[in-house]
Amino acid sequence: MRQFDVVAIWDPEAEVWVATSDDVPGLITEAASMEVFIEKLKVMIPELLAANGYNDGDEVPFTLRSERSVMTYAPPRSRWPISIIH
């Protein structure tokens, strides 16, 4: 059984996850939350594969890889060193 790869990239301007896949022709979708995103993929992937002639049984396993760039900042130098008590 073939495993299909899907990549989810966070679009910070639109505030949505965007999916693409070299394994699933025609796949492009977006959603604001990962939960909704996965539910959409569960419907779209089998439909797109069927439309493209894929027929390998009822199960369609896929791997979802996500990418999200995040920016953070160090505190001002006047606050260094910081003691951390455990």
In this predicted model, what pLDDT tens digit does every residue of 37-80 receive, in sequence order? 999 999 999 999 999 998 877 899 999 999 989 889 988 776 55
> How confident is residue 27, by pLDDT bands cut at 50, 70 and 90?
very high
C-alpha angle 15-20-57 in degrees, rounded to nearest 5: 130
CA distances from 54 to 1, 22, 29, 46 (A): 11, 14, 20, 9
Sequence letter at residue 38: I
Q: What is the mean pLDDT of residues 22-40?
A: 96
Q: What is the mean pLDDT of residues 6-22?
A: 96
Q: Report pLDDT for 86.
A: 64
Checking if the pLDDT of 33 tops 90, the result is yes
Rounded to two decimals, the pTM is: 0.76
User: Please, which residues bridge with residue 30 across strands?
Assistant: 18
